[in-house]
Amino acid sequence: MIKLVAIDIDGTLVNEEKVVTKNVHEAIQRAIDQGVKIVLCTGRPIEGIRPYLEELGLQNEEDYVISHNGACITRTDTNEVVVDVPMKLEDIKELYEFGKNYPPDICVLNEEHFYMIFPKGTDPDIDESLIDESNTINMDLETISIEELTEESHLLKLLYFGEKEEVNVIEQALPEEYRDRFYVVRSQEYLIEVMVQNTNKGTALEKLADHLGFTMDEVMAIGDGENDYEMIEAAGLGVVMDNGTHRLKGIANEITLSNEKDGVAHAFEKWVLK
């Protein structure tokens, strides 16, 4: 019996217009009324999740959200951060030194700030697509030099952000040792995310399920992207959207409809709702 459902946001919970459809909303509310715990589990920071928490009523006692691909778990009724895994400043600097030789922009985030890093003494050229990303995650884009960052910046992940072809180039150039030392994921065509090793949606979901007293057999996870891989793998029932990646579908227990066809609602009807 499913007691906890972890749901990715982009490409899963919402359609391509970033809207939770009526059918998806109703299915989630029925599951909540049935006593099922709902946890949004996303690469977004908390500010980019908050509108959906409010819309779905997921800010009650013992409600939680997993943000930054698992680097942060927050209790939503109190905003208490129960788990966070910041990166070391020396690692941020190393990843920046590597990445500055390639076209993609380099950004870093914590729960309060979305920074684009630029060379000190230069005028940053901010691409419109990066502004669009800041709007999507509901955070102002700020600029900062690498010298201005400190350990107190408490940064949760670094991004290489650019056009698909540009990101392809830097992905191919990434030293293999980086994949051993960090969690590296191409979460979107335009985006590579780098975090502390063994920090991902799957490990965060396991921590949260244990905290709430659920076994992983009682957990369903729904996702579509490469950053959902560990979450789908960890859950007792891993459900992948029809619009999901080929690699993700390869480990799915079940496939649901696409995010344009209310795939989350379909999954709830089939495997959660009585």
DSSP, residue by residue, 106-168: EEEE-SS-EEEEE-TTS-----HHHHHHHHHTT--EEEEEGGG--GGG---EEEEE--HHHHH
Residue 30 and residue 73: Cα distance in Å, rounded?
Answer: 24
Residue 88 pLDDT grade (very low, low, confident, very high; cuts 50, 70, 90): very high
Around Cβ 20, how many Cβ atoms within 10 Å?
18
Last residue of a domain, one of 154, 176, 196: 196
On whether both 56 and 96 belong to a single domain, the answer is no
CATH number at residue 9: 3.40.50.1000
Q: How many residues does the chain have?
A: 274
On whether both 78 and 206 belong to a single domain, the answer is yes
On whether both 227 and 138 belong to a single domain, the answer is no
Around Cβ 55, how many Cβ atoms within 10 Å?
12
Where in the sequence is the domain holding 242, given as residue range(s)?
A: 4-84+199-271
Considering the chain, what is the average pLDDT of its residues? 96
On whether both 98 and 192 belong to a single domain, the answer is yes
Last residue of a domain, one of 196, 211, 229: 196
Please tell me the pTM assigned to this model. 0.95
Q: Which residues are catalytic?
A: 8
- Total domains in the chain come to 2
- Encode pLDDT of 1-55 as tens digits: 999 999 999 999 999 999 999 999 999 999 999 999 999 999 999 999 999 999 9
Last residue of a domain, one of 157, 178, 196: 196
